[in-house]
Amino acid sequence: MNYKGKSLGIDVWREHQEQWMRSGLSQLKYCEQEGIKISSFCYWRYRILSEEAPKPPLRFSSLESTQALGKPHITPSIQMALPNGIRIGIDNSVNTSLLNHVLSFVREL
């Protein structure tokens, strides 16, 4: 089938993903054979895999202020005020893995 110039629905792209995996062909060869753009195939592959990937449950934890723990108060280097009223302050010594997790969560809001 040749799909050039036509908009395909997600169900068609899921079917293409399944057919490609069964074909044994490279993605490029499969797309050439089917008459679809490799960029569209890759975009939909990423989108479908992202939707199907299980997402871990998100939880909030309440942390005590460093001031309350007898440590000196640190002014955050970055402050975010979210539309729901939550405020997040981050200093420059934050663990980058933790920061990435927080930012991933914020993107979902």
Spell out the domain ranges in the chain: 10-52, 56-109
Residue 98, pLDDT score: 78
Q: pLDDT per residue over 41-91, tens digit each?
A: 999 998 888 877 776 665 655 555 555 555 666 667 777 777 667 777 777
Max Cα–Cα distance, the chain, nearest Å: 70
Residues present in the chain in total: 109
Sequence-distant (≥ 6) Cβ neighbours of residue 82 within 8 angstroms: 88, 106, 109
pLDDT-above-70 percentage for the chain: 65
pLDDT at 2 over 60: no
Strands, E assignment, the chain: 78-81, 87-90
Residue 51, pLDDT score: 79
